[in-house]
């Protein structure tokens, strides 16, 4: 027994003394920016990384021939200082900056870029195909790059491309490209990867050869928190300088905290309510698929639902005021692609109007049970819930409440995201709420709602994205047009037209924007940049200009020296603990003796 | 114990393990999931890319083919590649194991030492103030959810007092190598370790208390006292030894659960061990990773169970005799 007590005492003392002994070691005067996030890298391999965290690494490590402007994503010079477009728009000749070098001092030439484009296209590198599928490139000399496209491409001369160092990647054979661990740390962006401790952090060091010149920060450390509340705590205590993916519940408090700026970074992400309105038109073997409730194929029925959704209330009550009420589908991180809707075009929240539309269309409640009927049967829609989304249930409660008020019933089933993709492809639902985050170019988002994105292959439902079953030949025609239109203004008008048509169909009701929630401290660095201007995030913003724009504030402390006072408190705690323990043992012994 | 009995027990354990291996495959296929579709939603992949990804994930071919491939690989200790990181599952698991052994192992040993001591004192002085306080503490800590306790300690000691870091295992710009790094890691481990120790000790204390109470009425204790031994000697030499027997099973089982024991606490403190790996894999779901982890966890429990069974006869001759 005595040995057991001793062991306990020893263990407690060790634990307590640890607190006292450890202090932060000096940072050797290095300027370190620490960013907290809730997601580790999946891989630092630029051809295969999928996660947002990995994309931030790629953006920092690999400079691009052309850059995206901080204010509006327009094309600005990057590795290339200028370019010329041929009259037919199919060939662009880029001139690179002088004296470009990789971080390991190897010269960076037009050959590196041509190599990246051609190899990525031939080997169909996952993260590159959407950019390079139709391109071919040739290095005319060290600084001249000629890029040719097979089809007119409105994205050119913009060439946002993570250029990989040829002298590193040519050693990686084709069948190993996607598994290459990519810890080489050779890049051309402001920072390159120095260390990755899986599940803990990754550290990037300033690239002395960055084409804008070496940045003012020596290191960026990305610290992975699995507990978002602990991340917020670390931001408050100064352990980290900025945080990405702040939990919505903590956001309002951070907004009110002095010395911290909380940012709702809009990047085009949105939540939508989809109405399955597939009417059986495109070539689909309907026997192998499910069909929506027939009333949903009636435009008037959908319009009534659109009038029954109060987006303001959803933002206020479901999203705690974070986000803004939605209008049309948002195809891009750049808000300029979203058209202004006139008052007549807008489906405003008006339950009376909704009821009136349903009455006029002949959906009436003839048996007085509160539900309208379709061909003698009560209308009850199948509403799919997402088990993986915290907002799915509260959204559903409001939405089904309003539907009930206009005489439409609902029935829930719950799915995880993998299952819901199948259900969506199969058409085995009437309604659900999900979200999208678009790219910078509007083309991919627009492509999801063409007729050929309605699932037809019954052996694989998940290869399609048109969950609304929306099919409008005019939309498809306009889609082809915008895909070839080289004049930016005209292209924007076409896209606006498409979005108006899509909105009018009431197949896809955009509920609210879903901003990135971020926060940063103002005491150590200045120069945070929002992309796009005023509305966007400061980090994880497509080209993330903050990192090379930040400068340390003169005289600001290095952070992390709270341990000096902490150490003193710790010693006090240790002493108190030891005293308490000693007292307990003495007391115990005395009572034991009394018993004897 | 005869060699035959030992062989029987070992074979039984192996049989259980084989069942787990087979069951694992079907368990994780109850949920139909298409990782290619989930991971690449919104990416217009070419058909060739989709096929290649499906092949990489080992999802091509029929269920039976997949099953054979799974059995073949598992027997070679190859658990496939993680859906999430595309790295071999076995590598990821080995990388996370030391952290969990350090954290949960230390907490288990601490909780045992403190908990058993508490149980002895409480049981020996049954009905006294000591007993009521210690039993009260045991019941409260035992029924406290670990993650809640973790958040509480984190808020008080890391945020308000600033004594400990808010999570992770080391300071990214801290010392590298040597004693400095070790101390830095211990500093990071203190809070999660304290959480687990508090969470675990109640169970040991309560079991030890009831064992002590059981033996306290035995005749041999009366005899020992009659011999004129001091109270502490009676307790330590005679009562404690016999009362330790039921705890042995508990201790062996606890070591079996060391690997899988700290999912919520590792998550609260961003401690990159097996528990956190499990939590992350469940969110995917990353089936190959979960398969690997469950196999490892089951194997650990089976092995320590076997160890307890084999060890028990040596600790208690009565079992041997039977």
- CATH number of the domain encompassing residue B146: 1.10.3720.10
Are the Cβ atoms of B46 and A129 closer than 8 angstroms? Answer: yes
Structure confidence at residue A25 as a pLDDT band (50, 70, 90): very low
Q: In this complex, is the C-beta atom of A348 within 8 Å of any C-beta atom belonging to chain B?
A: no
Q: In this complex, is the C-beta atom of A19 within 8 Å of any C-beta atom belonging to chain B?
A: yes
Question: What's the confidence (pLDDT) of residue A596?
Answer: 44
pLDDT in tens, A365-385: 988 899 999 988 999 999 999
Are the Cβ atoms of A221 and B113 closer than 8 angstroms? Answer: no
- B175 contacts B185 by C-beta, under 8 angstroms: no
Please give the residue range of the domain that contains residue B214.
Answer: 87-320
Say if B31 falls within a structural domain.
no
Question: What's the confidence (pLDDT) of residue A452?
Answer: 83
Q: How many Å is the Cα radius of gyration of chain A?
A: 29
Q: Is the peptide bond before B236 cis (omega within 30 degrees of 0)?
A: no
- A234 contacts A225 by C-beta, under 8 angstroms: yes
pLDDT in tens, B125-154: 888 888 888 888 899 988 888 888 988 888
Q: Looking at the structure, do residues A489 and A544 belong to the same domain, yes or no?
A: no
Residue B264, H or E segment: helix B263-268
Q: Looking at the structure, do residues A254 and A303 belong to the same domain, yes or no?
A: no
pLDDT at B264 over 80: yes
Question: What's the confidence (pLDDT) of residue A591?
Answer: 56
* A40-54, A115-129, A467-481, B22-36, range with the lowest pLDDT: B22-36
User: Which tokens sit at A235?
Assistant: 């931001």
* A352-366, A493-507, A529-543, B17-31, range with the lowest pLDDT: B17-31
Question: What's the confidence (pLDDT) of residue A282?
Answer: 65
Q: Looking at the structure, do residues A172 and A279 belong to the same domain, yes or no?
A: no
pLDDT at A24 over 50: no
Q: Is the peptide bond before A157 cis (omega within 30 degrees of 0)?
A: yes
Say if A102 falls within a structural domain.
yes
- B187 contacts B164 by C-beta, under 8 angstroms: yes
Structure confidence at residue A562 as a pLDDT band (50, 70, 90): very low
- A232 contacts A246 by C-beta, under 8 angstroms: yes
| Strand order across the beta sheet in which A91-96 lies | A80-85, A91-96, A144-149, A135-141
Pairing assessment for the beta strands A32-37 and A219-224 based on DSSP bridges: parallel
Tell me, what CATH number does A89's domain have? 3.90.76.10
Question: What's the confidence (pLDDT) of residue A572?
Answer: 55
Distance CA B38, CA A280 (A): 26
Say if B9 falls within a structural domain.
no
Please give the residue range of the domain that contains residue A236.
Answer: 27-59+189-266+518-552
- A242 contacts A399 by C-beta, under 8 angstroms: no
Residue B46 has its nearest CB partner, among A19, A124, A462, at: A124
Distance CA A196, CA A216 (A): 22
Q: Which of A516-525, B57-66, B214-223 has the highest mean pLDDT?
A: A516-525
Q: Is A245 left (phi over 0), alpha (psi -120 to 50) or beta?
A: left
- B178 contacts B86 by C-beta, under 8 angstroms: no
Q: Which of A32, A47, A48 is nearest to A223 (CA)?
A: A32
Question: What's the confidence (pLDDT) of residue B42?
Answer: 63
User: Which tokens sit at A428?
Assistant: 């085995």
Of all residues in chain B, the one with the smallest CA distance to A204 is B172
Mean pLDDT of B100-122: 88
Of all residues in chain B, the one with the smallest CA distance to A225 is B270
The CA distance from B160 to the nearest CA of chain A, in Å, is 9
Distance CA B191, CA B162 (A): 12
Please provide the distance, in angstroms rounded to a whole number, between the alpha carbons at the two ends of chain B.
9
Mean pLDDT of A66-84: 91
Structure confidence at residue B75 as a pLDDT band (50, 70, 90): confident
Q: Which of B255, B263, B233 is nearest to B306 (CA)?
A: B255
Question: What's the confidence (pLDDT) of residue A564?
Answer: 42
**Chain A residues close to B243, C-beta within 8 Å:** none
Say if A195 falls within a structural domain.
yes
Average pLDDT, chain A: 85
Query: What ranges make up the beta strands (E) of A198-322?
Result: 201-206, 219-224, 242-244, 260-265, 270-275
pLDDT at A585 over 70: no
- A239 contacts A560 by C-beta, under 8 angstroms: yes
User: Which tokens sit at A42?
Assistant: 């999946």
- Which of B52, B168, B169, B204 to probe the A interface (max A CBs under 10 A)? B168
**Chain B residues close to A463, C-beta within 8 Å:** 37, 50
pTM of this structure = 0.78
Distance CA A465, CA A451 (A): 10
DSSP A446-490: HHTTSGGGS---TT-GGG---TT----HHHHHHHHHHHH---HHH
**Chain B residues close to A584, C-beta within 8 Å:** none
Residue A584 contacts by C-beta under 8 Å, 6 or more apart in sequence? none
Say if B54 falls within a structural domain.
no
Residue A502, H or E segment: helix A488-504
Say if A184 falls within a structural domain.
no
Question: What's the confidence (pLDDT) of residue A27?
Answer: 46
Mean pLDDT of A452-459: 78
Say if B81 falls within a structural domain.
no
Of all residues in chain A, the one with the smallest CA distance to B41 is A465
Q: Looking at the structure, do residues A165 and A207 belong to the same domain, yes or no?
A: no
DSSP state of A505: T
Q: In this complex, is the C-beta atom of A462 within 8 Å of any C-beta atom belonging to chain B?
A: yes
Of all residues in chain B, the one with the smallest CA distance to A461 is B37
Residue A199 has its nearest CB partner, among B166, B173, B276, at: B276
Distance CA B41, CA B50 (A): 12
Pairing assessment for the beta strands A380-386 and A431-436 based on DSSP bridges: parallel
Q: Looking at the structure, do residues A529 and A386 belong to the same domain, yes or no?
A: no
Say if A540 falls within a structural domain.
yes
Question: What's the confidence (pLDDT) of residue A93?
Answer: 93
Structure confidence at residue B223 as a pLDDT band (50, 70, 90): confident
Q: Looking at the structure, do residues A160 and A49 belong to the same domain, yes or no?
A: no
Are the Cβ atoms of A462 and B37 closer than 8 angstroms? Answer: yes
Q: Looking at the structure, do residues A175 and A206 belong to the same domain, yes or no?
A: no
Question: What's the confidence (pLDDT) of residue A10?
Answer: 57
Question: What's the confidence (pLDDT) of residue A191?
Answer: 95
Question: What's the confidence (pLDDT) of residue A16?
Answer: 55
Q: How many domains does chain A have?
A: 4
Residue B172 has its nearest CB partner, among A201, A388, A463, at: A201
Residue A33 contacts by C-beta under 8 Å, 6 or more apart in sequence? A217, A219, A220, A221, A241, A242, A525, A547, A550
Q: Looking at the structure, do residues A231 and A317 belong to the same domain, yes or no?
A: no
pLDDT at A26 over 50: no
- Which of A38, A45, A228, A230 to probe the B interface (max B CBs under 10 A)? A230
pLDDT in tens, A175-203: 888 888 889 999 999 999 999 988 889 99
Say if B40 falls within a structural domain.
no
Q: Which of A190, A497, A484 is nearest to A331 (CA)?
A: A497
pLDDT at B48 over 60: yes
Tell me, what CATH number does A527's domain have? 3.40.190.10
- A529 contacts A549 by C-beta, under 8 angstroms: yes
- B212 contacts B123 by C-beta, under 8 angstroms: yes
Are the Cβ atoms of B270 and A225 closer than 8 angstroms? Answer: yes
Phi, psi angle pair for A148, to nearest 5°: -120, 140
Mean pLDDT of A1-14: 55
**Chain B residues close to A459, C-beta within 8 Å:** none
pLDDT at B121 over 50: yes
Mean pLDDT of A68-80: 91
Question: What's the confidence (pLDDT) of residue A565?
Answer: 45
Q: Could you tell me which residue, A83 or B45, shows the higher pLDDT?
A: A83
**Chain A residues close to B187, C-beta within 8 Å:** 18-19, 22
pLDDT at A397 over 50: yes
Q: Could you tell me which residue, A575 or A29, shows the higher pLDDT?
A: A29
Are the Cβ atoms of B186 and A203 closer than 8 angstroms? Answer: no
**Last residue in a domain, options A179, A208, A224:** A179
Tell me, what CATH number does A322's domain have? 3.10.105.10
Distance CA A185, CA A207 (A): 10
Question: What's the confidence (pLDDT) of residue A94?
Answer: 94
Of all residues in chain A, the one with the smallest CA distance to B171 is A24
Q: What angle do CA B71, B77, B79 make, to 5 degrees?
A: 70
Say if A334 falls within a structural domain.
yes
- A1 contacts B235 by C-beta, under 8 angstroms: yes
Say if B21 falls within a structural domain.
no
**Chain B residues close to A231, C-beta within 8 Å:** 166
Q: Looking at the structure, do residues A326 and A433 belong to the same domain, yes or no?
A: yes
Q: Collapsing DSSP states into helix, strand and coil, what is residue B247?
A: helix
Q: Looking at the structure, do residues A83 and A162 belong to the same domain, yes or no?
A: yes
The CA distance from A465 to the nearest CA of chain B, in Å, is 7
Q: How many domains does chain B have?
A: 1
* A80-94, A468-482, B165-179, range with the lowest pLDDT: B165-179
Q: Looking at the structure, do residues A241 and A358 belong to the same domain, yes or no?
A: no
Mean pLDDT of B258-286: 82
Q: Looking at the structure, do residues A53 and A9 belong to the same domain, yes or no?
A: no
């Amino acid at each position: 027994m005595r040995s057991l007590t001793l062991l306990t005492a020893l263990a407690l003392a060790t634990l307590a003394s640890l607190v006292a002994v450890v202090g932060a070691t000096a940072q050797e005067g290095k300027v370190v920016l620490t960013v907290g996030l809730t997601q580790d890298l999946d891989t630092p391999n630029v051809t295969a990384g999928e996660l947002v965290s990995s994309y931030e690494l790629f953006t920092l490590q690999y400079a691009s021939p052309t850059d995206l402007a901080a204010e509006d994503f327009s094309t600005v010079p990057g590795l290339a200082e200028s370019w010329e477009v041929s009259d037919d728009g199919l060939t662009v000749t880029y001139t690179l900056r002088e004296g470009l070098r990789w971080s390991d001092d190897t010269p960076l030439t037009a050959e590196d870029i041509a190599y990246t484009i051609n190899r990525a296209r031939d080997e169909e590198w996952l993260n590159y195909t959407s950019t390079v599928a139709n391109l071919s490139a040739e290095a005319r000399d060290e600084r001249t790059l000629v890029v040719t496209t097979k089809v007119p491409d409105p994205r050119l001369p913009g060439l946002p491309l993570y250029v990989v160092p040829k002298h590193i990647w040519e050693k990686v054979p084709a069948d190993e490209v996607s598994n290459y661990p990519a810890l080489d740390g050779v890049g051309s962006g402001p920072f390159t990867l120095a260390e990755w401790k899986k599940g803990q952090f990754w550290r990037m060091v300033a690239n002395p050869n960055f084409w804008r010149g070496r940045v003012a920060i020596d290191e960026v450390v990305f610290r992975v928190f699995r507990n978002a509340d602990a991340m917020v705590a670390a931001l408050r205590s100064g352990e980290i300088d900025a945080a990405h993916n702040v939990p919505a519940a903590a956001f309002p408090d951070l907004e009110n905290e002095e010395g911290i700026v909380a940012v709702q970074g809009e990047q085009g992400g949105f939540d939508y309510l989809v109405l399955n309105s597939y009417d059986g038109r495109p070539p689909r073997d309907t026997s192998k698929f499910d069909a929506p409730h027939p009333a949903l194929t009636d435009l008037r029925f959908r319009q009534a639902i659109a009038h029954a959704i109060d987006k303001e209330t959803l933002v206020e009550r479901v999203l705690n005021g974070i986000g803004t009420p939605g209008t049309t589908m948002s195809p891009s991180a750049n808000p300029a692609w979203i058209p202004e809707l006139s008052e007549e075009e807008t489906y405003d929240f008006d339950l009376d109007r909704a009821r009136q539309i349903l009455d006029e269309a002949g959906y009436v409640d003839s048996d007085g049970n509160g539900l309208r009927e379709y061909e003698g049967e009560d209308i009850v829609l199948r509403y799919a819930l997402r088990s993986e989304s915290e907002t799915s249930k509260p959204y559903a409660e409001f939405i089904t409440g309003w539907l009930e008020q206009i005489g439409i019933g609902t029935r829930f089933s719950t799915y995880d995201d993998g299952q819901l993709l199948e259900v969506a492809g199969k058409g085995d639902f009437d309604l659900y709420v999900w979200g999208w985050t678009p790219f910078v170019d509007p083309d991919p988002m627009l492509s999801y709602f063409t007729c050929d994105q309605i699932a037809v292959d019954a052996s694989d439902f998940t290869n399609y994205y048109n969950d609304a079953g929306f099919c409008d030949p005019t939309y498809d025609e306009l889609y082809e047009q915008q895909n070839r239109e080289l004049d930016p203004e005209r292209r924007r008008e076409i896209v606006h037209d498409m979005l108006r048509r899509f909105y009018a169909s009431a197949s896809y009701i955009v509920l609210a924007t879903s901003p990135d929630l971020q926060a940063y401290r103002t005491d150590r660095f200045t120069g945070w940049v929002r992309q796009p201007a005023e509305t966007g995030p400061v980090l994880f913003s497509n080209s993330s200009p903050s990192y090379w724009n930040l400068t340390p504030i003169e005289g600001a402390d290095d952070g992390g020296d709270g341990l000096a006072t902490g150490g003193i408190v710790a010693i006090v705690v240790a002493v108190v603990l030891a005293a308490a323990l000693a007292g307990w043992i003495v007391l115990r012994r005395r009572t034991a003796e009394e018993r004897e | 114990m005869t060699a035959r009995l030992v062989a029987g027990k070992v074979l039984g354990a192996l049989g259980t393990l084989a069942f787990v291996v087979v069951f694992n495959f079907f368990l994780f296929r109850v949920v139909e999931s298409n990782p290619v579709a989930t991971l690449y939603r919104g990416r217009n992949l070419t058909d060739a890319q989709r096929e290649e990804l499906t092949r990489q994930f080992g999802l091509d071919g029929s269920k039976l083919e997949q099953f054979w491939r799974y059995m073949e690989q598992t027997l070679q200790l190859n658990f496939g590649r993680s859906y999430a990181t595309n790295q071999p599952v076995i590598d990821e698991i080995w990388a996370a194991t030391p952290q969990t052994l350090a954290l949960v192992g230390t907490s288990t040993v601490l909780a045992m030492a403190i908990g058993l001591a508490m149980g002895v004192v409480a049981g020996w002085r049954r009905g006294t103030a000591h007993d009521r306080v210690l039993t009260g503490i045991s019941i409260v800590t035992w029924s406290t959810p670990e993650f809640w306790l973790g958040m509480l300690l984190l808020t008080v000691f890391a945020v308000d007092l600033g004594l400990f870091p808010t999570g992770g295992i080391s300071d990214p710009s801290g010392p590298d190598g040597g004693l400095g790094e070790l101390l830095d890691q211990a500093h990071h481990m203190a809070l999660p370790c304290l959480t687990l120790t508090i969470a675990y000790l109640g169970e040991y204390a309560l079991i030890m208390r009831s064992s002590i109470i059981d033996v306290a009425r035995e005749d041999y204790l009366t005899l020992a006292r009659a011999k004129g031994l001091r109270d502490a000697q009676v307790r330590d030499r005679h009562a404690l030894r016999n009362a330790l027997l039921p705890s042995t099973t508990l201790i062996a089982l606890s070591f079996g659960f060391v690997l899988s024991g700290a999912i919520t606490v590792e998550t609260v403190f961003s401690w990159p061990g097996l528990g956190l790996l499990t939590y992350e894999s469940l969110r995917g779901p990353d089936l190959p990773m979960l398969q690997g982890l469950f196999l490892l966890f089951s194997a650990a429990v089976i092995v320590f169970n076997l160890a307890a069974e084999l060890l028990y006869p040596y600790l208690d001759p009565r079992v041997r005799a039977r």
